[in-house]
Amino acid sequence: MRSLTKISDLSVSDLETIVAMADEFRETRGQSSAHTPLTGRFVALVFEKPSLRTKVSFEVATVSLGAHPIFLSSEQIFASGGNERGRESVPDIGRNLERFCDVIVARVFRHDTIRQLASIVKVPVINALCDQHHPCQAIADVVTMERFLKKTGGLKVAYIGDGNNVATSLVQACVMRGHDVVVASPAGYEVSNVEQRVTHSLKVRESQSIDFIREPAYAVRGADIVYTDTFVSMGQESEKSARLAAFQGYQVTSALMALASAHARFMHCLPAHRGEEVTDEVMDSAQSIVFDQAESRLHVAKAVLAWSLT
């Protein structure tokens, strides 16, 4: 039994295993012979924040593997307790859930909540997004880019925009898979220094390049993948106007895509804020693989659940 609280919890070989399992689940999808290794298990899906892809992919994955999902929204367990700390403490939520369920998938505001849960319960805890990490997304991202570019290492991945949870997990997963990464962010919105250091520590080959820079045009030059995410993550709504001002010049446009490789693909974890971090033209272009990327979330959700419980 293993938790996934952030990408750097994984060894290179764990990541390899999960990617291979996801590829296999993609191949066997819909086959009546598809195996159901989680028959009789229960999966708690604890969500403090909204979700489309993560909620649906984990619910479908859970049922497809023979297990039963139990969705718990913020109102049900965190928020409605009549005091600012919610109905009961995070440790107590965990101590209850582990008595009923075999794995806890949690989307939370603070990484500390994931850390606390994982340190207390005896069942695996899967991070379904927090303020600092989004590991299931990043695994789906490497699965998708490697499938489309037909390469398992040595891609150049350029991330443009906020050095947020998605950026952090993405660059760490890419580095562990042997890809080169470059992140272009405005001042004050970079991947944190701590996570930049972690990213460098994950290098798998000497010549691998890992850069955190300012200039989007420079970052995308020759890139195989151009990736962006929202400038205003969940929980940052009050910073919206300051953020939109700070990210002027960081929109992924067709002009920016033209600086990447001719075969470059555009990726976005979604939801996209069309007209902010990306134009309609790029989202809807032949280069865009954002919905294939979303589909990969399902194969990876199955892989992560099966991996965590075996």
- What does the binding site for ligand NVA look like in residue numbers (CB under 6 A)? 129, 164-166, 229-230, 233-234, 269
- The answer to whether 52 contacts ligand CP (rule: CB under 6 A) is yes
CB closest to ligand CP, residue no = 54
Q: Which residue's CB is nearer to ligand CP, number 267 or number 269?
A: 269
Closest distance to ligand NVA from the beta carbon of 134 (Å): 6
Q: Is 177 helix (H, G, I), strand (E, B) or coil?
A: coil
For helices 111-120 and 90-100, angle between their N-to-C axes, nearest 10 degrees: 50
Run of H or E including 246: helix 240-246
For helices 135-149 and 165-176, angle between their N-to-C axes, nearest 10 degrees: 50
- The answer to whether 137 contacts ligand CP (rule: CB under 6 A) is yes
Closest distance to ligand CP from the beta carbon of 280 (Å): 19
For helices 290-309 and 135-149, angle between their N-to-C axes, nearest 10 degrees: 120
Q: Which residue's CB is nearer to ligand CP, number 210 or number 228?
A: 228
- The answer to whether 105 contacts ligand CP (rule: CB under 6 A) is no
Closest distance to ligand NVA from the beta carbon of 115 (Å): 17
Q: Which residue's CB is nearer to ligand CP, number 171 or number 210?
A: 171
- Measuring CA to CA, how many Å separate 281 from each of 140, 244, 254, 288? 24, 20, 7, 10
233 interacts with, out of ligand NVA, ligand CP, none, CB within 5 to 8 A per kind:
ligand NVA
The tokens for 174 are 């890419």
First to last CA, the chain: 6
- The answer to whether 53 contacts ligand CP (rule: CB under 6 A) is yes
Q: Which residue's CB is nearer to ligand CP, number 47 or number 210?
A: 47
- The answer to whether 64 contacts ligand CP (rule: CB under 6 A) is no
Report 240-269 residues binding ligand CP (CB under 6 A): 269
147 interacts with, out of ligand CP, ligand NVA, none, CB within 5 to 8 A per kind:
none
Residue in the block written with tokens 């405005």: 186
- The answer to whether 54 contacts ligand CP (rule: CB under 6 A) is yes
Q: Is 230 helix (H, G, I), strand (E, B) or coil?
A: coil
52 interacts with, out of ligand CP, ligand NVA, none, CB within 5 to 8 A per kind:
ligand CP
Closest distance to ligand NVA from the beta carbon of 257 (Å): 21
230 interacts with, out of ligand CP, ligand NVA, none, CB within 5 to 8 A per kind:
ligand NVA
Closest distance to ligand CP from the beta carbon of 207 (Å): 31
Closest distance to ligand CP from the beta carbon of 134 (Å): 6
Closest distance to ligand NVA from the beta carbon of 175 (Å): 19
Residue 210, beta-bridge partner list: 181
Nearest to 172 by CA among 122, 219, 137: 137
Report 143-182 residues binding ligand CP (CB under 6 A): none
**What is the spatial distance between Cα 17 and Cα 255, in angstroms, rounded to a whole number?**
38
- The answer to whether 63 contacts ligand CP (rule: CB under 6 A) is no
**What is the spatial distance between Cα 267 and Cα 296, in angstroms, rounded to a whole number?**
12
**What is the spatial distance between Cα 308 and Cα 310, in angstroms, rounded to a whole number?**
6
DSSP structural state of residue 75: I
CA dihedral over 16, 20, 25, 26, signed as positive or negative: positive
Interface residue list for ligand CP (CB under 6 A) = 51-54, 129, 137, 269-271
